[in-house]
Amino acid sequence: MKATIKSAATMISIAFLLFLVFMSTASFALVEKKTYIVHMDQTKMMASNPQQWYKDLMDSVYDLSIEEEEEDDTTPPDLLYTYENVVSGFAATLSTKQLESLKKMDGFLYANPDRKLSLHTTYTPQFLGLQSANGLWSASNLSSDMVIGVVDTGIWPEHRSFHDSGMPPVPAKWKGKCENGKMFSSSNCNKKLIGARYFYKGYEASHGKINQTVDFLSPRDNGGHGTHTASTAGGSVVDEASLFGFASGSASGMMYTSRIAVYKTLWVNGGVNSDSLAAMDQAVADGVDVLSLSLGGAEAVPYYFDDTTIAAFGAIEKGVSVVCSAGNAGPSILTVGNTAPWIMTIAASYVDRSFRATVKLGNGLSFQGSSLSQSKSTMHLRLVYGTTAGGKRADYCIPGSLDHNLVKGKIVVCHGDFGYTTGETVKLAGGAGMLLINAKSRGEEQFADPHVLPTIALGFSKGKAIFKYLNSSEKPTVSITFEGTVYGTRAPMIGAFSSRGPNKVDVNVIKPDVTAPGANILAAWPPIVSPSQLTSDKRSVEFNIISGTSMSCPHVSGLVALLKSVHKKWSPAAIKSALMTTAYNMDNKNTPIVDAYDFEPATPFALGSGHVNPHAAVDPGLVYDITAEEYLLYLCSLKYTSSHIHAIARRSFKCPKKLASKPGDLNYPSFAVNFEGKARNVSLTHKRTLTNVGTPKSTYMVHLEEPNGVAVVVKPNILKFKRLGQKLSYQVTFIGYKSSEDAVYGSLVWMSGKYAVRSPIAVIWL
């Protein structure tokens, strides 16, 4: 943890209060027009269909606002979308006066301002233990009727990763379609890519018309992100895939026989919630089995203010699993996004494949780093940095900061905070290469990025040694040796960039849920987009290597599709439980999985329950299942209002007058224990229920790893199951006898023969 838990709790409270103040201020701010997502009570519907009702409602709002407006030049509200499948309501651009008029209409629940969203493999199947014709990849498990819906930047349909050779006809259940648009038609789809739609009304309402000279007003991908994520989740098998010869091998998605449906909602400058909500609504109507969303908002907000979270609830009620990225704001705590318990939230980690390069300084010291440079080894060249490379901000190599006369033919040291533009700046100034040094906030991790000139990425501590050499030598020199693709490095390892808990929305649910491969991932890429995504970079590639929780999310989306193909009757909660309780916490060196930031053991607030283990997840023994009703009782325990719960549930739900459960009693596969104050011997009791999906007659015994300063008592400590599907309950009492400024961790494992059903425990003192 990079800050005390006490300060973390304070940050949660302050952030929530500031959010309420912001919402209060925003409600009364006079703005010309703003897009709102409006939640409605459909039981009040006065027309035969929702679209007509909302249209009539907008007409009434306009008439009422005109009557009450002093001036008569008000423009009508613009109805952008109607939502029917996962949300009850619509998106519309409204003036402040029109919003006030809408609030008076029968059936209105509440309105949220539209929010901006941002984007958060040849080898990873083998790393995850997926092998052809075995286990989960056996023919009987590779059901080709599974449809993965990818909400992202679109797709490049001609890519080899989306070929349909040998695939059976499109499933009869499928109701989706491929929409025509710029450089895209229905003929671009096939038996692999069976759906392609695009949503832009909300984006244009807030950002203006899409510039079709820099983006395609169609499902076609002009950024690369969507093509990369879609192929990671469900891409077909492609032989001889690589990036410049790096990571060469056969590429495939996690479920390479699945169908793919893409929903483009993200454009050159990002996207907005109203469009993604429309995409999710349509995807569920089309018949997807899994929704994969490698995106999120900038701030964590209560679940009733997060429309993606609300739509996800509607999706899981219909049996559609929703998998989301955790975010890329690590290693800071309280940064994890997509935190609702019905969403599966994925952290990102490294696999045991690296792209190694070695720096040798003129004083004989050498350091290993990462590089995707194609160059051969360099001779000893002059090393420049800061004032020896240019003027103000030359240490960050920002555009215009480097002096061509000082840099030409030399290796430039740069702080690595400005992405690919850093290398572009060095190249334009005539530099021969670049040492990219992490800022302290990035720690020791090493991204392998396809920069536009020979580059090696180095961790913060190695950078300090290099700076020391620079300050002690009048004519510092360096040579670089590029070693290519190397296997067997320590892994998995949590990416320092991966967002962390505790859960800012509700500390009673540990987030993220699990980690999966997300650093240095090779997958499909559009040929018109350079690997660096710089306009000055004229290279064209078929595959690219990039990093982020955006990459780990589709790995799990594909695994969820695999599990659903085997266990068609399992709920989204049961599938999530199977992946969480079978996740592992030891790396390939038989030591605890560490954090790439500082190489210290990673905590549940970084890796969740652990690293996904698909072969174990297919037969987990026991699962923690959760019904929609149980989620709603959990919302009651958070003191949500009836209108907030109604909007999430899409129906009336009355909280019990005497609610027996607490937030910590949600039947989640992990334990978040939150003690208030510093009193000793304070206790909390959480309840859980397990469902037998393993051996009909089986006995499980509990094994505990108690957190430091906390005693754990489980009653009963033995569970005897007599049949499949049987449910047995237990309760856990946590007794804090020694408080701590930082979180402490442990685990609870139910064991029976080959089964080990593990739940992490994270304890904090608020």
The residues annotated with a catalytic role in the active site are 152, 225, 550
The span from the CA of 152 to the CA of 159, in Å, is: 17
- 312: its two tokens: 């996800």
Contacts of 8 (CB under 8 A, 6+ apart): 1, 333, 334, 502, 764
The span from the CA of 557 to the CA of 564, in Å, is: 11
- 759: its two tokens: 């739940």
**DSSP notation for 448-485:** ----SS-EEEE-HHHHHHHHHHHHH-SS-EEEEEEEEE
- Return the SS3 of 710: strand
- 736: its two tokens: 């804090």
What angle do helix axes 628-637 and 642-649 make, rounded to 10 degrees? Answer: 160
| 557, 292 Cβ separation under 8 angstroms | yes
The span from the CA of 350 to the CA of 445, in Å, is: 10
Task: Read off φ and ψ for residue 83, nearest 5 degrees.
Answer: -115, 130
The span from the CA of 578 to the CA of 582, in Å, is: 6
The span from the CA of 637 to the CA of 640, in Å, is: 8
What secondary structure, in 3-state letters, does 34-51 show?
A: EEEEEEECHHHCCCCCHH
| 394, 413 Cβ separation under 8 angstroms | no
- Return the SS3 of 117: strand
Spatial CA neighbour of 258 closest among 288, 222, 228, 281: 288
Spatial CA neighbour of 639 closest among 663, 609, 616, 607: 663
Spatial CA neighbour of 183 closest among 150, 152, 156, 223: 156
| 381, 478 Cβ separation under 8 angstroms | yes
| 190, 153 Cβ separation under 8 angstroms | no
Beta strands in 311-432 (DSSP E): 321-325, 344-350, 353-361, 366-370, 381-384, 411-415
| 458, 435 Cβ separation under 8 angstroms | yes
**DSSP notation for 502-516:** S-SS-TTS-S--EEE
- 414: its two tokens: 């740069």
Where does residue 298 fall: left (phi above 0), alpha (psi -120 to 50 degrees), or beta otherwise? alpha
The span from the CA of 515 to the CA of 283, in Å, is: 26
Spatial CA neighbour of 406 closest among 383, 424, 380: 383
- Return the SS3 of 555: helix
Neighbours of 176 (CB within 10 A): 22
Burial of 389 (0-12, 13-18, 19+ CB in 10 A): buried
The span from the CA of 334 to the CA of 300, in Å, is: 9
- Return the SS3 of 410: coil
